[in-house]
Amino acid sequence: MGDLAHTISEMETHRLAKCEAVVERHLASFIEVGSALLEIRNGRLYRSEYETFEAYCKERWGMSRPRAYQLVAATEAVGNLSTIVDKPTSEAQARPLTRLETPDLQREAWQEAVDTAPGRITAAHVERTVRQVEARYQPEASEDTPEKTPRSMGHKTALIKIAEIVADLHERTSQPATLWSSSHIKRYVDALVDILSNTSYD
């Protein structure tokens, strides 16, 4: 009985294939949409009617800023895979790659996902692969890592530590942007959060 319930006819198989082809076409169109948005943003083609790219996306397309940048980032990630034959066919597959900081890491993760996929490449499989690559290249703590905050500090100590972090950030703004990465920024944000969460308000 269970086998019969999961068996589909030849006609249903054709219907499934036809429906999946439609889904695949529309999933793949994210590259066209993302490419168009990327050109509009980079060329500031929205400026005759809108002050910002974010306002343009929201008012013209009803698209939030995060959603617009998701599409743009996914499109850029796919563009970085030009040397690989098999490319993502959906935004869901490409989205995890956007967390990786360089095109080389994106290519490495995607190629690894292609090589290790047990069958069809799923978004979940790409996500797992990206996590493995992130773990592989996780930067070790260095001298520029803000030190851990002592527990239950007072207001004065907290303000001093925040001032030290702000001063360090101010000094680093003179450095080339290429020296910065999301891991650098995350360490500073984590340090600030740690200070605020461990300040005594008694």
Q: Are residues 127 and 177 in the same domain?
A: no
Among the three residues 102, 136, 170, which one is the final residue of a domain in this structure? 136
Mean pLDDT of the chain: 77
User: Residue 176: is its pLDDT beyond 60?
Assistant: no
Q: Are residues 124 and 29 in the same domain?
A: yes
Q: Which domain holds residue 31?
A: 10-136
Position 48 scores a pLDDT of 87
Position 80 scores a pLDDT of 93
- Distance, in Å, from the CA atom of 44 to the CA atom of 60, rounded to the nearest integer, reads 14
The C-alpha angle with vertex 174 and arms to 189 and 193, in degrees rounded to 5, equals 10
Position 200 scores a pLDDT of 55
Q: Are residues 186 and 201 in the same domain?
A: yes
| Element counts in the chain: helices (H) and strands (E) | 10, 0
Among the three residues 82, 101, 136, which one is the final residue of a domain in this structure? 136
E runs forming strands in the chain = none
With bands split at pLDDT 50, 70 and 90, how would you rate the model's confidence at 1?
Answer: very low
- List pLDDT tens digits, range 84-127: 888 998 899 999 999 998 999 999 999 999 999 988 899 999 99
2 domain residue, yes or no? no
- List pLDDT tens digits, range 125-172: 999 999 999 998 876 655 555 555 444 455 556 666 666 666 666 555
Neighbouring residues of 148: CB distance < 8 A, sequence distance ≥ 6: 194
Helix, strand, or coil (residue 12): helix
Neighbouring residues of 149: CB distance < 8 A, sequence distance ≥ 6: 161, 191, 194, 195, 198
Tokens of 173: 């703004």
Mean pLDDT for 15-30 is 71
Position 49 scores a pLDDT of 87
Q: Count the domains in the chain.
A: 2
Position 158 scores a pLDDT of 60
